[in-house]
Every structure is written in structure tokens, then in C-alpha cells.
Amino acid sequence: MTRATANTAGPDRLTALHRIGLSWQPSGQAALRGPLLRLFEDCDRAFVRLASLWDAQEERHPASLPAQRLEQVGYLRSFPHQATFVARLSPEEENIDAFLDGPVADDDGRVELPGLSPVTEVLTPAACYHLYNAHQGEALDGPLYLTTRNTCFRQETHHVPLRRLSSFTMREIVCLGTTAETVDFLDHARSAVDLFFGLIDLDVQWLAATDPFFRPQGNPRHLLQRVQPVKHEATYGGDLAIASVNRHHDHFGAGFGLSRDGRPADSCCVAFGLERWLFALTDRHGLDPASWPCLEDAATTVLAKLRGGTA
Amino acid sequence: MTRATANTAGPDRLTALHRIGLSWQPSGQAALRGPLLRLFEDCDRAFVRLASLWDAQEERHPASLPAQRLEQVGYLRSFPHQATFVARLSPEEENIDAFLDGPVADDDGRVELPGLSPVTEVLTPAACYHLYNAHQGEALDGPLYLTTRNTCFRQETHHVPLRRLSSFTMREIVCLGTTAETVDFLDHARSAVDLFFGLIDLDVQWLAATDPFFRPQGNPRHLLQRVQPVKHEATYGGDLAIASVNRHHDHFGAGFGLSRDGRPADSCCVAFGLERWLFALTDRHGLDPASWPCLEDAATTVLAKLRGGTA
């Protein structure tokens, strides 16, 4: 089987991916079944196994967050162009009737909404926001390791199958603690992920990156990220970030009143974009499931090596 | 431990549930960790095991559906008051600036959205809509058994922890086929679920129900459901539907051009509301995980009995 270049996702590749379980939606979303769905879950189990390096506690969070909570950490002011809101028709009968008097959905699939109920919820922008929010106000007496997975929403100008989606799945491992604890976590996490990449034979480059701020040149947080990179992305094929390690300093600890040793806690996270892993793995190892690496086994090997090394 | 009545979810119970992993969000959503999260996943594994009675294929679907597709089966006209839409700011810089010039989120947590991008997507109303949509246009040469789980969204006038949520998790098992095939599936499914209820010692009553149509008295589909019940709910504690069996006749087959034997396929589904199962199981068996039944083992027993009986 010849290897496609990483930055193509043309019709042939889409047809081939369809045969192993991808159903690509024009709205920029992926449905999965069969071999690709099993690979997706295998990826996630591997990441959860990596999270067990720190005995990270699993949490499951809802689809959205209150706008007010997100604004405690300036999310809507920094990323208004990417925010995705939960909207419902205002429930008065006259309003619903006005909706029903229209085409409901026009020929282009657009819905005309007369009056909306108050919009108060933002669909998950990144899985880890829920964790800081859920632990708001806690005073930690040691480092806190957590892991969670969620569907994340973005506004994109264009969509590419398994590469650029309007909603996608993110697994994260997070550490909250002192600066030393979180930096130590991030160093170990990057080592673990690097070992994992080696074992599954996936070439990536780590590149410094910045978050996609609105009007970045005017945003002090963007300027700070340029001066002192806090985000590094494991980049496959030159341009596809499939994992990232992120250092937030005390941004979330201060915003959510989460403290450690009497000071706002620092936080760091490792994030994996699951659909992009499907792209990278099938690009590197082909479309035959028999040629795919066993990701859970690789994660187990990482654990044995790192635990052995630190024991 | 004394048993709470099923229809209460007062502060004491909420505090007790919090201790075993519930974090209740004022927006009507549930976050889970610890014992409750393990029970949640144990429930879902049990339902997936029941689905293996029919070798149902697992599918994973995105968070939303195109409004246009849902309107093929009249969803927005029947349930406009419950529909939940994906809304994003129109991306022109002037529009984003207008948003940023406002309070972003006011003291009540309400977001003022100046101009929206075209609204084209509806957040999942029920997990099974994705399945009919994904198989649109197929001509089946035998019954098709599928299972999927998704986060579903509703507009509710009030919320009750683990009982009435604005977004919740639904596992469904679906059969598409001839009338005989789907009715046979539904009969077996109900037997399987009944056996399961017996094994885990959960008392339910099966009650005929109708879907929550807007202005039901004027909706011919509602009238038809009253004359010939197509939905039965397994009801715990007198008023909490934790599972339902549903017969759609050829509503989805006709709407999505899905055929069997040259005619629009019939469909039936069994649906489980996972958060409500947490309520019922903790209400019936208490808050100590050691007293909870092993749901996967019970599902395995159901399989052995039903397969034994039909072999």
C-alpha cells in the first residue's frame, strides 16, 4: 500500500476511509463504525493508560459550560470567533408559531429563529475547562491529576475529513499544583508521549505554537505566548497537530479560585485530538487494520519503562 | 440505609450523591466521577451486551444533525419547543467587535449575540436519529441491528438532578427491517429488558406513552399514538421513565429512503436514559457501591437465558 501524503484528504482517500468506517458529514463532523471506531477507542484507552502514570482520576463532564464561568478566565473575550453557543427557541406559543409559520429549514438548510431563550451556555471549547470549573474554590493539599474526554466545538472557515472538524473529540490529562509539580508533570508527560510515538512508529515534530486568539496582535496573552512559548504541539506530516502540551501558569487557578500552598494553583495539560490520530495512524500505517500498532500495549510498555526508570 | 422515595431529589439526597461522584450543574447537567461514573459505564456496558443478542453494530455519531435532514422526518415541526441549535457569531470583525463592546456575559450569565452565522445544525434530540440519517437511501437485504450512544438535548421548564436534564446520555438499540422483523425485535427486546430488571431487582411498570409533541391535540401523529400506542416506557417509582420501547412503523424508513423488500423499512428502538438509571439504581440499592448489582453479569445471564431459549 502506498502512503498518502499527510496533507491530502482527497476523494480517493475519503472513499478508502469510508470503507473502514468513516462517514464524513458536510457540516465538518465524523461518524465512525467498524475498524475506525475500534481504532478510535483503542487510542483513547491508550491515553487513559498513560494517564494512569499519575493515577489521574477520570471525570465525565456535560456538553456545555456556563458562559459566565468561562468568562472568569476570559474565554469569550479571547476566542469569541470560535465560541459555539447552545440556542433554543423562546418557549412562548406565539414565538413557536412564528417559527412554524416560516420554512423551518430553507433550501440551504438554514433555520430562521424568531426569538431565542436567553443564551447562557457555551458548548465545550476544550475538555479541560470543565475540570478547572468543577474544582472551583478548592484548596489542594497536593498535586491533583485528572483526565477527561469531551466533544469540543470550534468555528472553522473550512473542514477537512479527520483533520479539521467543527466538532471533535479531545482526551486530556491535567495536573493542578505548584509550579514545580505542574512543570514536572509536563516534562514527564512529554517523555511519555515521545516514548509512545516511538513505539507506535509515528514521526512527529514538536513545534511551539500559540492559541488562536481573536485579533492576536492586540491580546497581551498572545504576546506573552510569543515571548515565552507555553504550548508545544506534536505535529504529524508537517502540519497536523495531534497532541499538545500546555502550560497555563496560574491562569485557571486564579480564575477559578483554585489554590495550592495558599497561592493560585498552576496547571498544565496534555491534549490529544482523537479524530486527527485516526488520520495520522491510517496515513502512516495504512488502511488495513492488521497493519495498525496495538496502542494499548504500547502505552503499557511506556508505563513499565517510566515506572521502572523512576522506581 | 433508608430508602428515599423515587420522586424526591432534595438537598440531602443531592449531598449524598455528591459524595459518590455527582456534580450537579445549575444548567441541568450532570458531571460524574468515582463510583457513580463507574456505575454509569457499567450500565452502558450492560446495554451494549444486551445489544449483542442481535449482533448489533456499534456506531459513534457527532453531536449534531443538519436541520434539513431532521426536517425530512418532520422533527422541527413536531418538536420545535424542544429543539436545541448550534449557534456561532457571524465571523466578520465588525460583528465580533460589536459582541466584545457589550458585557459578553451579563450578571445573570446571559450572552448577547449580535449577528449569528447561519444556523444549520440541531444538537442531537435522540441518539437514533443519527442512525436513520447515516443509512439514508440504503436498500436492506435483511434486518439491520445497530446500537449507538449520544448526548441528547431538550428544552425543559425545570431540572431535577439525574431525573430531568437539559442534556443527558441515551443508549439505543435499533432494528430496521420488515414489519415482522422489527416487531419481533421489539418483543424480544422487551423480554430481555424485563429479565434484566428482574435480575438486578429493579421494579418498573410498563406504561403506554406518547412523544411530547408541540400542541399535541393538533398533531395527527400524536392522535395516532393515542389510538395505537407505539411507545411504552419502563417507569420506576411511578413517574420516572428509565427505558422505552418504540415502534416507528415506516416513519424513518420513508423519510430517509431506507428500504427493505422494496418498501420503506420499518424501525423499532429500545432507549435507555443513563443518568436516570443512576437515580433509580441508587434509590433502589442505596448509595454504597458494595450494594449495587453487577449489571454486566446480569446482562450476560439474560443472553444465556434468551439464547438458550431460542437455540
| pLDDT tens-digit readout, A278-291 | 999 999 999 999 99
Per-residue confidence (pLDDT) for residue B11, from 0 to 100:
79
Residue A211 C-alpha, separation from nearest chain B C-alpha, in angstroms:
18
Residue B251 C-alpha, separation from nearest chain A C-alpha, in angstroms:
19
- Indicate if the alpha-carbon torsion angle A43, A46, A50, A51 is positive or negative: positive
Per-residue confidence (pLDDT) for residue B2, from 0 to 100:
38
Choose the weakest-confidence range: A214-228, B26-40, B147-161: A214-228
Rounded to the nearest integer, the mean pLDDT of chain A is 93
CB pair distance less than 8 Å for A31 and B214? no
Taking residues A212-227, report their average pLDDT: 76
pLDDT tens digits for range B113-147: 999 999 999 999 999 999 999 999 999 999 999 99
pLDDT tens digits for range A118-153: 999 999 999 999 999 999 999 999 999 999 999 999
CB pair distance less than 8 Å for A64 and B167? yes
Per-residue confidence (pLDDT) for residue A1, from 0 to 100:
36
Q: Which residues pair with B112 in a beta bridge?
A: none
Q: Among residues of chain B, what percentage have pLDDT more than 70? A: 95
Q: Is the pLDDT of residue A249 over 60?
A: yes
Choose among B213, B210, B193, B209: nearest CA to B305.
B193
Rounded to the nearest integer, the mean pLDDT of chain B is 93
Per-residue confidence (pLDDT) for residue B168, from 0 to 100:
98
pTM for the whole thing?
0.94
The type of residue at B265 is A
Residue B89 C-alpha, separation from nearest chain A C-alpha, in angstroms:
6
CA angle B232, B260, B71 (to 5 degrees): 60
Per-residue confidence (pLDDT) for residue A4, from 0 to 100:
42
Per-residue confidence (pLDDT) for residue B3, from 0 to 100:
43
Per-residue confidence (pLDDT) for residue A7, from 0 to 100:
44
Q: Which residues pair with B119 in a beta bridge?
A: A111
Q: Is the pLDDT of residue A37 over 70?
A: yes
The type of residue at A91 is P
- φ/ψ region of B122 (left if φ > 0, alpha if ψ in -120 to 50, else beta) reads beta
Is this prediction's ipTM beyond 0.90? yes
Domains assigned to chain B: 11-84+125-307 (3.30.930.10), 89-122 (no CATH)
CA dihedral of residues B246, B247, B248, B252 (deg, nearest 10): 80
User: How many angstroms separate the Cα of B273 from the Cα of each of A51, B20, B278?
Assistant: 29, 19, 9
Query: How many residues are there in chain A?
Result: 311
User: Which chain B residues touch A25 with a CB distance below 8 Å?
Assistant: 62, 66
Other C-beta atoms within 10 Å of B77: how many? 17
Confidence of residue B4 (pLDDT cuts 50, 70, 90): very low
Confidence of residue A81 (pLDDT cuts 50, 70, 90): very high
Q: Which of A20, A25, A99, A156 would best serve as a mutation to test chain B binding (most B beta carbons within 10 A)?
A: A25
Per-residue confidence (pLDDT) for residue A309, from 0 to 100:
55
Choose among B246, B46, B269, B250: nearest CA to B173.
B269
The Cα B89–Cα A88 span in angstroms is: 15
Q: Which residues pair with B241 in a beta bridge?
A: B235
- Indicate if the alpha-carbon torsion angle B300, B306, B308, B311 is positive or negative: negative
pLDDT tens digits for range A151-197: 999 988 899 999 999 999 999 999 999 999 999 999 999 999 999 99
The Cα A235–Cα A245 span in angstroms is: 12
User: Which chain B residues touch A60 with a CB distance below 8 Å?
Assistant: 31-33, 37, 40
Q: Which of A45, A72, A89 would best serve as a mutation to test chain B binding (most B beta carbons within 10 A)?
A: A89
The Cα A13–Cα A33 span in angstroms is: 17
Per-residue confidence (pLDDT) for residue A287, from 0 to 100:
96
CB pair distance less than 8 Å for B31 and A63? no
Residue B127 C-alpha, separation from nearest chain A C-alpha, in angstroms:
13
The Cα A168–Cα B63 span in angstroms is: 9
Strands A29-33, B57-60: pairing is: antiparallel
Taking residues A97-103, report their average pLDDT: 93
The Cα B273–Cα B291 span in angstroms is: 22
* Closest in B62, B87, B118 to A25, CB measured: B62
Per-residue confidence (pLDDT) for residue A91, from 0 to 100:
93
Residues in contact with B186: Cβ distance below 8 Å, sequence separation at least 6, in sequence order: B175, B245, B247, B268, B270
Other C-beta atoms within 10 Å of A51: how many? 24
CB pair distance less than 8 Å for B86 and A153? yes
CB A119 within 8 A of CB B87: yes
User: Which chain A residues touch B33 with a CB distance below 8 Å?
Assistant: 57-60
Q: Is the pLDDT of residue B305 over 70?
A: yes
Per-residue confidence (pLDDT) for residue B7, from 0 to 100:
44
Please give the DSSP secondary-structure letter assigned to residue B153.
E
Confidence of residue B5 (pLDDT cuts 50, 70, 90): very low
User: Which chain A residues touch B159 with a CB distance below 8 Å?
Assistant: none
